[in-house]
Structures are given as structure tokens and as C-alpha cells.
Chain A
Amino acid sequence: MHELSIASAIVDTATKHADGRQVSVVSVRVGGLRQVTADSLRFYFEIVARDGVCAQARLECTQVALRLRCRDCGQEWETDQPEFRCSRCAPGSVEVLTGEELEVDYIEVEEEAACIAPG
């Protein structure tokens, strides 16, 4: 259900950067640790984008895998389990390299072709 608020925030961010231009694509990166459902996000995106420059925009969600690193032994691994233990030196001190993202990566906007003055 929080996808509604997040979709709303994404539309606001895209609209701010679109600077009045029509937006055709909004691309977001969602980390594996975020409990955000892409289908639900798209559903709400269409609703909240209805009346603005993002009305025709397609929302692209790129999933970013959860990647961890043990600070003690340096081992790095990718996982879909919320297990922050190093298999070599458990428990170890584990840091998140990727997987916490929830960011608007880029947008694509429609622009008038630049007018080139005849020489």
C-alpha cells in the first residue's frame, strides 16, 4: 500500500526534473531489500501521473540485487535472503553494497527539435 506514496513521490521527482516537458519514460532502481512491488508501483504510478507531464510516461523498474560484503574477511556475495551473516566467519560484520536503492535514475522527455538557423 505504501507504493501509492512512493509512486506519488516518483511522479513529483520526475515532474520537477522534466521542467514542463512531456515525460515518456521514468526509470527507477529498486533494491532487493526494499519491500516495494513493481506491479503495484506501476498501477499507482498510472493513477497519480494522470493529470501532469508524466501522464503518457512508462515506468521502468530495475531491480538491484542485494549484495553484501563481510568487513572481516572481505567475502562478497549476492543473496535474496535477509541473512546478514558471513558464511566464513559468522556472524562477522556485514555491510550492504547494493540492495537498499529506491531512486529515480533517469527520465526521458520529449523536446522540440532544435532550430538550426540557415547559414
Chain B
Amino acid sequence: MHRTRVRIVEDALDANNTIARANREDFDRAAVRVVNLMSAPGAGKTTLLEAALSDLGAIRPGVLEGDVQGSLDADRIAHLHIPVVQLNTGSGFGGECHLDANMVRSALPALALHELDLLIVENVGNLVCPAEFRIGEDVRVMISSVTEGEDKPLKYPLMFRACELVVINKIDLLPHLDFDLELFLHHLDGVHPGVPRMLLSAKTGEGVEEFRAWLREVATRVTVPV
């Protein structure tokens, strides 16, 4: 027996990326634009969707809810009479902390893609893992709420760099917090210079129309192959 070195140099997530491309082809065929919505737990992903999706005009939205367990978020979306599919990641070591391309693929048969213009995939609440896994989305957006503190871009740079838009939520709470918005934006610009950002409150509705307009713009984008 002797030992041989086999040179590989392959992205460790190559298999995931291959499935993500297959998802993307399915989305493109159905002319559905897909948003991967990521944040820490409790940042307000579902609340923002409740506020924004009910009034998108001619755009037909759908939601894929990723959670470790349960269907609480999907139930909230279903109340709006928006098509929603729940995806639970709770098998294995206590549940996966993110969605990957294969999990999303497994949920596609339950989604009537041809009846949608825009699919929002609400990822599992987590600021680390979801940033590593492409799922076939057109665009990644993250929510950072002001209750999380201004240091988050420095602590989770991969997430803040992975997204095309940063939504800063819960601004109605600013008068009650020590949150330094200037400092947060300074850190954000250090980590992801120039990334578009929106300040809003999903609870009061302030700024939500800007997010709706962004969703409408995404839904009508001409697809760019990955």
C-alpha cells in the first residue's frame, strides 16, 4: 500500500450550489423571482411579511417558511390568504439551523410556482449559517432590528456582506433604546460599503411602503442567470 495525494480544489458546498442552480432554473421557468429573507430570531421577518405582502398590487406573492419546528409563522401568513408552505428542518442533530438548496427543492412540489410572481423564503432565524447556503434565490435580504445592538455587522460580517439589502427594523423603539444608529451605519458601511438600507417599523408601518416598492421591483426584474 502506498499513499497518493489527489488534488481536488473544489468548493466544499459545490453539491449544494448545483442543487441551488436547479432550483433557480425551475424558478426561472415559472417566471418567479425569489427572495431569501434572513435575520436573527425575533428580528421581525414574519411581522414584516404580514405588513408588506398584503398590498403588493398585481404581484402575486407566496411564502416558504423555514423553521426548526412548528408552523406558527406559516399560520400567520395563511391568515393573509397568501399561499404558504412550511418547511421544518427539525431532523438530525436537533434541527438544522438554516435552509439549504436541497431542503428548498423538497418543498417545491408543494408550491404552485406558476401561480406566483414572487416567492419569499423566510429562512431559519440565525445570523451565521443561512449566509453560507445558496438556495437558488435571485436576491438575499437581511433584517437587523435596532434591539440587537449596533455591533452586529462587525460580529456577523458574512451575513451583512451576503445581502443586497439591509432592512433596519423596529425603529419605533429608537427613543427607548441606547442604540446608536450612526454607529450602526458606520459599521455597516465598513463591512459592506454602500449596501442599500431601509429604516422601517413593521409594527407601525413606517417605511414599509418603501420595502413593498422594493419587492415589486424585484418581482418584475428580468432574470439574470446565476
Interface residues of A (CB under 8 A from B): 1-2, 4-6, 9-10, 12-14, 17-18, 24, 28, 33-36, 81-85, 91, 93-94, 102-113
Contact = CB atoms under 8 A, between A and B. Distances in A.
B154 to A, nearest CB: 6
B1 interface: yes
Nearest to A83: B190
Interface residues of B, number: 39
Contact of B3 (A33, A94, A111): A111
A29 B97 CA distance: 23
A107 B6 contact: yes
A108 B93 contact: no
Given A9-B12, A107-B6, 9 more contacts: A2-B98, A6-B12, A10-B12, A13-B12, A14-B8, A106-B7, A108-B5, A109-B4, A113-B1
A38 to B, nearest CB: 13
Contacts of B2: 110-111, 113
- Tell me the dominant secondary structure on chain A's binding face: mixed
Contact of A13 (B4, B15, B133, B154): B15
29 contacts: A1-B96, A1-B97, A2-B128, A2-B132, A4-B92, A5-B96, A9-B12, A9-B13, A9-B14, A10-B12, A12-B15, A24-B3, A33-B158, A34-B132, A82-B157, A82-B161, A83-B190, A84-B193, A85-B189, A85-B193, A91-B193, A93-B193, A103-B8, A103-B12, A104-B12, A106-B7, A108-B6, A111-B3, A113-B1
B182 interface: no
Interface of B: 1-16, 92-93, 96-98, 100, 128-129, 131-133, 153-154, 156-158, 161, 189-194
Contacts, number: 114
A94 B157 CA distance: 15
B216 to A, nearest CB: 30
Contact of A5 (B14, B100, B192): B100
A82 B14 contact: no
Given A2-B128, A33-B157, A35-B158, A112 B15 contact: no
B172 to A, nearest CB: 29
Given A9-B15, A34-B132, A105 B9 contact: yes
